[in-house]
């Protein structure tokens, strides 16, 4: 069969897209298929007379992908997004991409295992669907805030400007996760030039697969991508969609491999600290290990043990009231407030009041 790939102009020459194509071509050859790389206009012209069940989309731009997906859907061709992510929810689309969310979780948990909890996310592009997945996962964690995300935009003067912004506040962090290894290498060089020691002052991790990540003076700790496998699975997905007319909207995620390097002092992975590592489990499974879902269960555990006064107490703390004011409002003593709060902290399993409030403010604000 013929596998059609609709390509954004120039995307096939970029690093990661070229690797996607390498895997797709190898798999198509192995299966005896042909692979056609088409512009969007050429695809529309061809599909008027030879309409396939699906066509893959190869792009580096979230906006271009959205337009291409809508265009293909409008003519009855299911888009298969190569390397993209389901965050954008294009109509009737299928997706093949790295499991960036899980990899982000693992990087954060690895850093926290070694008491590196003040973490920044660096070089995030708002036009990259995959970067948006990383950002969403990053922000789902306690103590990871929007102010800790450093965006890369062409309007800012490319990567150097992004590095400059981070350098101005880098002393506020003890770890940084880079959205890709190209940005990681640039940032590491600029940090070193500014006198910031890696890993002594700052742990540095990244996503990527570039040889420069391991061949430099310091190897990078990374969530390693497998872009050729994405291309391979794209071909498999197109074959399945074509052969099975009742199947629609498949999503396939490829696991990243966590590689430890010099930029985190080569400290080993401690499996038990990674909340969602891929290990056999007889427990609740991935759904319950998802940090966002876990927060809901944490809040439920607290609320189910609270009475009306406890809930009002938490609401007033979230609003910033002092204990003295809360005591007057609730007609209880300050010692009663402290006792109730201590009991809530004990029930929650957290160690501090701030941790409890950080979870509860989402649900009680």
Tens of pLDDT, residue by residue over 282-330, are 333 332 343 544 666 677 778 778 888 998 999 999 999 999 999 999 9
Helix, strand, or coil (residue 313): helix
**H/E element holding 331?**
none
Tens of pLDDT, residue by residue over 245-276, are 888 888 899 999 999 999 999 999 986 555 44
From residue 279, alpha-carbon distances to 51, 259, 271, 275, 282 in Å are 42, 17, 9, 10, 10
Tens of pLDDT, residue by residue over 110-129, are 999 999 999 999 999 888 88
Helix, strand, or coil (residue 278): coil
Domain 2-98+227-255 in CATH 2.160.10.10? The answer is no
Task: Parse the chain into domains and list their residue ranges.
Answer: 2-98+227-255, 100-225+258-277, 289-364
From residue 333, alpha-carbon distances to 12, 306, 311, 322, 338 in Å are 68, 18, 16, 13, 9
**Residues 234 and 80 sit within 8 Å (Cβ to Cβ):** yes
* DSSP symbol at 218: S
**Spatial distance between the Cα atoms of 322 and 337, rounded to a whole number of angstroms:** 11
What percent of the chain clears pLDDT 70, i.e. is strictly above it? 87
**Residues 363 and 314 sit within 8 Å (Cβ to Cβ):** no
Same fold for the pair 2-98+227-255 and 289-364 = no
Q: Classify domain 289-364 by CATH number.
A: 1.10.10.10
CATH architecture assigned to 100-225+258-277:
3-Layer(aba) Sandwich (3.40)
161 pLDDT above the threshold of 60: yes
């Amino acid at each position: 069969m013929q596998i059609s790939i609709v390509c954004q102009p120039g995307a096939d020459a970029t690093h990661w897209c070229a690797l996607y194509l390498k895997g797709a071509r190898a798999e198509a050859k192995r299966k005896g298929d042909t692979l056609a790389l088409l512009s969007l206009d050429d695809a529309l012209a061809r599909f008027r007379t030879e309409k396939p069940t699906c066509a893959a989309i190869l792009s580096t731009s979230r906006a271009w992908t959205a337009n291409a997906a809508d265009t293909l859907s409008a003519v009855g061709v299911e888009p298969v997004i190569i390397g993209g992510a389901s965050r954008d929810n294009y109509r009737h689309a299928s997706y093949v991409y790295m499991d960036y969310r899980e990899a982000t979780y693992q990087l954060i948990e690895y850093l926290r295992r070694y008491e590196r909890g003040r973490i920044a996310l660096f070089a995030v592009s708002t036009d990259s669907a995959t970067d948006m997945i990383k950002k969403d996962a990053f922000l789902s964690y306690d103590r990871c805030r929007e102010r800790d995300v450093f965006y890369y935009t062409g309007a800012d003067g490319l990567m150097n400007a992004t590095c400059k912004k981070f350098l101005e506040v880098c002393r506020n962090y003890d770890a940084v996760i880079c959205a890709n290894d190209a940005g990681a290498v640039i940032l590491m060089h600029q940090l070193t030039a500014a006198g910031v020691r890696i890993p002594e002052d700052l742990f540095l991790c990244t996503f990527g697969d570039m040889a420069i990540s391991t061949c430099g003076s310091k190897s990078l700790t990374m969530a390693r991508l497998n872009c050729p496998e994405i291309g391979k699975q794209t071909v498999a997905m197109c074959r399945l969609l074509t052969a099975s007319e009742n199947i629609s909207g498949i999503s396939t995620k490829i696991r990243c491999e966590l590689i430890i390097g010099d930029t985190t002092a080569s400290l080993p992975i401690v499996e038990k600290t990674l909340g969602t590592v891929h290990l056999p489990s007889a427990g609740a499974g991935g759904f319950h290990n998802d940090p966002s879902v876990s927060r809901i269960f944490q809040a439920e555990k607290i609320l189910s043990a609270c009475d009306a006064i406890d809930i009002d107490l938490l609401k007033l703390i979230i609003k910033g009231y002092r204990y003295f004011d809360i005591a007057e409002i609730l007609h209880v003593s300050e010692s009663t407030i402290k006792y109730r709060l201590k009991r809530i902290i004990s029930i929650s399993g957290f160690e501090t009041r701030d941790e409890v409030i950080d979870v509860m403010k989402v649900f009680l604000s």
